C-alpha cells in the first residue's frame, strides 16, 4: 500500500522559512516523479512543484519560483519542499503526491496534508 507521511508544517512569520517533508513507503520511490500541491483555506487546489524520478528535471509554479526548492533523497524515500521568504498568501495546506510515472504530472496518491500558516 502506498503511504505518504508528511511533516514540517506550522506557524511561521512573514519572511520566514520552513521545510516540508514527505516520507514514502509501499512503492519504489526512486522510480516515480513527486509533486507538491497546495490549497489555501476555502480555495481550490494549486500545483506548486514537481520533481522527476531521477531529480534531473524540476518545475515550479510562478507563485513559488525563486523562493522554494523541491528536492528528494531517494536513499531515504523522502521528498522535501524548502520554502523561503514566506508570505501571507503562502498560507495553505500543502499536499505531497506520488506521480503515475517517472515524469508524469498526474498524482495518483496523496499525502495527508500539512498546514502552513504565515502570520505575524
Name the residues that contact another protein, by CB under 8 A: 37, 44-47, 50, 59, 61-62, 95, 100, 104-113
The DSSP line for 40-71 is: -TTS-EEEEEEE-TTS--EEE-TTTTTTEEEE
User: In the complex, what is the shortest distance from the CB of residue 16 to another protein, in angstroms, rounded to a whole number?
Assistant: 25
- For another protein, which is the closer residue by CB, 80 or 97? 97
Round to whole Å and give the CA distance between 40 and 42: 6
User: In the complex, what is the shortest distance from the CB of residue 60 to another protein, in angstroms, rounded to a whole number?
Assistant: 8
- For another protein, which is the closer residue by CB, 17 or 31? 31
- For another protein, which is the closer residue by CB, 44 or 66? 44
Beta bridge pairs of residue 93: 39, 115
User: In the complex, what is the shortest distance from the CB of residue 112 to another protein, in angstroms, rounded to a whole number?
Assistant: 6
- For another protein, which is the closer residue by CB, 13 or 115? 115
User: In the complex, what is the shortest distance from the CB of residue 11 to another protein, in angstroms, rounded to a whole number?
Assistant: 19
Closest-CA residue to 49 (of 39, 57, 59): 59
CA angle 10, 11, 14 (to 5 degrees): 130
Closest-CA residue to 116 (of 84, 88, 89, 92): 92
Amino acid at each position: 500500500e502506498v503511504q505518504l507521511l508528511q511533516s514540517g508544517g506550522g506557524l511561521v512569520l512573514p519572511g520566514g522559512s520552513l521545510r516540508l517533508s514527505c516520507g514514502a513507503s509501499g512503492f519504489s520511490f526512486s522510480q516515480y516523479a513527486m509533486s507538491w500541491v497546495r490549497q489555501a483555506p476555502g480555495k481550490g487546489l494549486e500545483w506548486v512543484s514537481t520533481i522527476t524520478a531521477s531529480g534531473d528535471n524540476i518545475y515550479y509554479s510562478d507563485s513559488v519560483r525563486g523562493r522554494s526548492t523541491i528536492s528528494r533523497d531517494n536513499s531515504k524515500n523522502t521528498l522535501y519542499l524548502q520554502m523561503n521568504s514566506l508570505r501571507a498568501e503562502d498560507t495553505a495546506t500543502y499536499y505531497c503526491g506520488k506521480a503515475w510515472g517517472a515524469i508524469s504530472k498526474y498524482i495518483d496518491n496523496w499525502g495527508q496534508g500539512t498546514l502552513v500558516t504565515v502570520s505575524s
